[in-house]
């Protein structure tokens, strides 16, 4: 008889706490346990899954490629678990708002707006998932979110009222890093990040030889690696500017960098009348920070 393995939800909640807070220490404080207890739970989960969830060679809290897949599964499992409780032991009385945020572009701003919205609606139970844009848009189509904020390289005319354009740029600690001989040293975030996929495509299309020397788990880590002089990175110009990361203007060896389209999406049939107002507020906030309603420059073939 084949032995079946059931993964305790408390291990999954610990994993999500570590990822969302980007710290074992802060996760322990949130969960009311010690840091060694959090580490032991993560180790137990890894043994049950038979994989390494975290990349020990990378700085900070950085997932492996397999870890990113497992985190997406964990969020979905916990969402279904909580929905069962809402429908039974909790009586389904408290409304739940499920939000997906693109961690690779808009997380910080969106969290600020959601916190203010939550304060205005204390009866609302909010479930927030931060992952890469492609995953957010995919799960929105599946009905996993009521509201999503994500980025895409394609303009969606159906979402004209709640879209904005994010110009992108190359950055490095010094312009000399992008002008040296040999392969371009590229810094990226994650396996599934939009910025990684498009920056690699831009270099390959332009015929620029490169090597990926850093794979981080967040924009904050990427910023530190860039400022340390490890290589060049491609990201939204607005975020690079706000983080104080030096932007390379008109680099000789790097291709021109088109931007991406950000958007706020509301699930069709979502049961909250306030969602349209929240979506409009989020879009207005992003545009106020520098996002344009239209692309200011002529499109080119390469993307980043």
pLDDT mean over 229-241: 92
Question: What's the rounded Cα separation, in Å, for the pair 210 and 213?
Answer: 9
User: How many C-alpha atoms does 100 have within 13 Å on its Cβ side?
Assistant: 29
Residue 271 pLDDT grade (very low, low, confident, very high; cuts 50, 70, 90): low
Architecture label for domain 168-258: 3-Layer(aba) Sandwich (3.40)
Tally of CB atoms within 10 A around 287: 16
Architecture of domain 94-167+259-304: 3-Layer(aba) Sandwich (3.40)
Phi-psi region of 149 (alpha: psi -120 to 50; beta: other; left: phi over 0): beta
Residue 9: enclosing H or E segment and its boundaries? helix 9-21
Greatest mean pLDDT range, 1-10, 162-171, 291-300? 162-171
Q: What tokens appear for 115 in the block?
A: 């916190």
Average pLDDT over residues 208-218: 90
Contact 196, 232 (CB under 8 A): no
Output the pLDDT for position 300: 32
Helix, strand or coil for residue 244?
Answer: coil
Res. 247: pLDDT tops 80:
yes
Predicted confidence (pLDDT) at residue 89 exceeds the cutoff of 50? yes
**Separation between Cα atoms, residue 100 and residue 276, nearest integer Å:** 15
Residues of the chain with CATH 1.10.10.10: 7-75
**Owner of token pair 């993307």:** 303
> Would you give the DSSP letter of residue 251?
-
What was the pLDDT predicted at 87?
A: 65
Phi, psi of 301 (to 5 degrees): -75, -35
**Mean pLDDT (the chain, rounded):** 83
CB 195, CB 34: distance < 8 Å: no
Band (278; pLDDT cuts 50, 70, 90): very high
Task: Assess whether pLDDT exceeds 70 at residue 294.
Answer: no
Cα separation, 50 vs 112, whole angstroms: 37
Question: What mean pLDDT do residues 191-213 have?
Answer: 89
In angstroms, the CA 144 to CA 148 distance is 10
The per-residue pLDDT for range 147-192, each reduced to its tens digit, is 999 988 887 766 778 999 998 899 999 999 998 788 999 999 877 7
Instruction: Give Cα separations from 222 to 117, 290, 293 (angstroms).
Output: 30, 21, 27
Q: Which of 116, 150, 141 is nearest to 286 (CA)?
A: 150
Residues of the chain with CATH 3.40.190.10: 94-167+259-304, 168-258
Distance from C-alpha of 23 to C-alpha of 9, rounded to nearest angstrom? 19
Instruction: Tell which CATH classification among 3.40.50.10420, 3.30.559.10, 3.20.20.30, 1.10.10.10 matches the domain 7-75.
Output: 1.10.10.10
Q: What is the pLDDT of residue 230?
A: 95
Q: What distance in Å separates the CA atoms of residue 1 and residue 43, rounded to the nearest whole number?
A: 27
Distance, CA of 208 to CA of 193 (rounded, Å): 20
Placement of tokens 């390469």 in the chain: 302
Q: What is the pLDDT of residue 186?
A: 95
> Whole-model pTM?
0.65
Distance CA 184, CA 177 (A): 8
pLDDT tens across 12-43, in order?
A: 989 988 887 778 887 887 777 888 999 999 99
pLDDT band at residue 295 under the 50/70/90 scheme:
low
**What's 147-158 look like in SS3?**
EEEEEECCCCHH
């Amino acid at each position: 008889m084949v032995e079946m393995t059931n993964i305790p939800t408390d291990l999954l909640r610990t994993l999500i706490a570590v990822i969302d807070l980007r710290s074992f220490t802060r996760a322990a404080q949130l969960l009311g346990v010690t840091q060694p207890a959090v580490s032991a739970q993560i180790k137990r989960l890894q043994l049950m899954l038979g994989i390494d969830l975290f990349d020990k060679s990378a700085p900070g809290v950085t997932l492996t490629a397999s870890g990113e897949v497992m985190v997406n599964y964990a969020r979905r499992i916990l969402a279904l678990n909580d929905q069962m409780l809402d429908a039974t032991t909790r009586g389904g009385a408290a409304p739940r708002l499920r939000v997906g945020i693109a961690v690779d572009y808009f997380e910080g701003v969106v969290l600020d707006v959601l916190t203010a919205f939550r304060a205005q609606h204390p009866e609302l139970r909010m479930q927030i998932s931060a992952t890469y844009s492609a995953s957010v848009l995919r799960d929105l189509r599946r009905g996993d979110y009521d509201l999503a904020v994500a980025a895409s390289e394609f303009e969606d005319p159906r979402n004209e009222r709640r879209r904005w354009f994010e110009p992108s740029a190359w950055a490095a600690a010094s312009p000399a890093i992008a002008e040296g001989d040999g392969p371009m040293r590229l810094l990226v975030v994650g396996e599934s990040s939009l910025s990684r996929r498009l920056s690699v495509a831009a270099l390959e299309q332009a015929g620029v030889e490169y090597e990926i020397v850093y794979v981080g788990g967040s924009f904050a880590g990427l910023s530190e690696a860039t400022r340390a002089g490890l290589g060049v990175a491609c990201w939204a110009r607005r975020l690079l500017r706000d983080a104080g990361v030096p932007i390379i203007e008109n680099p000789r060896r790097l291709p021109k960098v088109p931007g991406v389209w950000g958007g706020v999406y509301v699930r069709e049939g979502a049961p909250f009348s306030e969602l349209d107002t929240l979506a409009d507020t989020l879009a207005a906030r992003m545009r106020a920070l520098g996002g344009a309603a239209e692309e200011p420059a002529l499109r080119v073939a390469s993307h980043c």
